[in-house]
Amino acid sequence: KCSLENANMLNLDNSVDASLDLWSRADVQTCTTWKAAIIWEGMFDPDAYDQMHRREGSSVALTVFAVGRYLDAYLKTFLNTSEQHFMLGLPVTYYIFTDVPEKVPDIKLAPQRSIKVMKVEKNSRWQDVSMMRMKTISDVIESDIRHHCTHVFCFDVDQVFTGRFGSEALGDSVALLHAHYYRLPKKYFTYDRNPNSKAYMQTGDFYYHAAIFGGLWKSVKALTEACYQGIMEDKRNNVEALWHDESHLNKYMWLHKPTKVLSPEYCWDTSIIYRSEIRVTRLMWAPKYYDTLRTP
């Protein structure tokens, strides 16, 4: 169980979490060693979270990149399903980054929800498209998001919302357990193991999935800026971390512990065989067509 002892020291969100949560899951780890909640279905009252965040005036920026062929392949479904499930009842601004703004689909949005399309250059290597998101997100938080939103959530586009992805996921600094690693011993975690990379780490807490991360704008700004600095230093040293931005994110979250951790319900790979602890899938991996999508 997450102890309440340091709730007062932590941000408001944590103290309210502690009083709202029902803590009724015994089959999974619901708390980290540093007392951050790991969010699973059955642990929380969704309405209580929604009321609290409406009272607090929370508003959410969702960033997503659809560069090159990823736009046609994924963006429309991502946005349509997000309108069904992501932070319903709270103000949401989508920040869509693409090299082809004119191709962004026209989506009917609920009230209090809007889209901002921002043009980015297309890096020729997919690894760079992925890594350079850190720089772009950091910049747009500074120039725009910080003036309009309290929280930021950053998403891969190759995913489909299938269940509530709501305000229980909001926190100061939020990371996601990778569906492929959450049950494995640490020795299997695919951290970067090259001492020459800034992402190098020998051990860690969890293997986090970079397909989703978020938090207060200030926390996400700090994370994206630090990861970008690490990525650029690696480039100067002619090295690249094993899993690119994800390796840097794992290093950052090891040094700066997240205040909330999302269970793999929040990003599930349905090719994994049945797991009794996954009671709901809130977001699912879309099929990956690397052969056709990643060729320049």
What amino acid positions are annotated as catalytic residues? 246
Q: Among residues 259, 256, 248, 258, which one has the least CA distance to residue 201?
A: 248
First to last CA, the chain: 49
- Site map 267..296 versus ligand UDP, x via CB under 6 A: ---------------------x--------
- Of 2-10, 44-52, 63-71, 134-142, the segment contacting ligand UDP by CB under 6 A is 63-71
> By CB neighbour count within 10 A (0-12 exposed, 13-18 middle, 19+ buried), where does 184 fall?
exposed
CA 85/CA 163 separation, integer angstroms: 6
CB atoms within 10 A of CB 123: 16
Of 13, 41, 158, 192, the residue at the interface with Mn ion (CB under 5 A) is 158
Closest distance of CB 287 from ligand UDP, Å: 11
Which of the ranges 51-59, 109-117, 153-161, 172-180 carries the binding residues for ligand UDP, by CB under 6 A? 153-161
Which of 44, 70, 94, 266 is in the footprint of ligand UDP by CB under 6 A? 70
Q: How many angstroms separate the Cα of 32 from the Cα of each of 53, 57, 109, 187? A: 23, 28, 37, 18
For ligand UDP, the closer CB: 126 or 181: 126
User: Residues 13, 17, 50, 156: which binds Mn ion (CB under 5 A)?
Assistant: 156
Say if CB 202 and CB 160 are below 8 A apart.
no
Q: Which two three-digit tokens encode residue 147? A: 């003036």
Q: Check residue 246 for interaction with Mn ion (CB under 5 A).
A: no
- Cα–Cα–Cα angle for 278, 282, 283, rounded to 5 degrees: 110
Q: Is 230 left (phi over 0), alpha (psi -120 to 50) or beta?
A: alpha
Please, what's the largest Cα pairwise distance for the chain? 53
Among 66, 132, 261, 283, binds ligand UDP (CB under 6 A): 66
* 168 touching Mn ion, by CB under 5 A: no
Strands 113-119 and 92-98, bridge-based pairing: parallel
Q: Is 194 helix (H, G, I), strand (E, B) or coil?
A: coil
CB neighbours of residue 158 within 10 Å: 19
Min separation Cβ 63 and ligand UDP, Å: 9
Whether the CB-CB separation of 201 and 241 falls below 8 Å is answered with no
**Closer residue to ligand UDP, CB minimum distance, 100 or 280:** 100
Going residue by residue from 160 to 189, which x/- string records binding to ligand UDP, judged by CB under 6 A?
A: ------------------------------
Residue 130 near ligand UDP by CB under 6 A = yes
Task: By CB under 6 A, tell whether 227 contacts ligand UDP.
Answer: no
Distance between CA atoms of residues 49 and 12, nearest Å:
12
Taking the least distance from each CB to ligand UDP, the nearer of 44 and 78 is 78
User: Residue 68 binds which entry of ligand UDP, Mn ion, none, with Cβ cut-offs from 5 to 8 Å by kind?
Assistant: ligand UDP
Q: Applying CB under 6 A, does 247 fall inside the site for ligand UDP?
A: no
**Cβ-closest residue to ligand UDP?**
156
Which residues bind to ligand UDP, rule: CB under 6 A?
Answer: 65-68, 70, 126, 129-130, 156-158, 211, 288
- Positions in the binding site for Mn ion (CB under 5 A): 156, 158
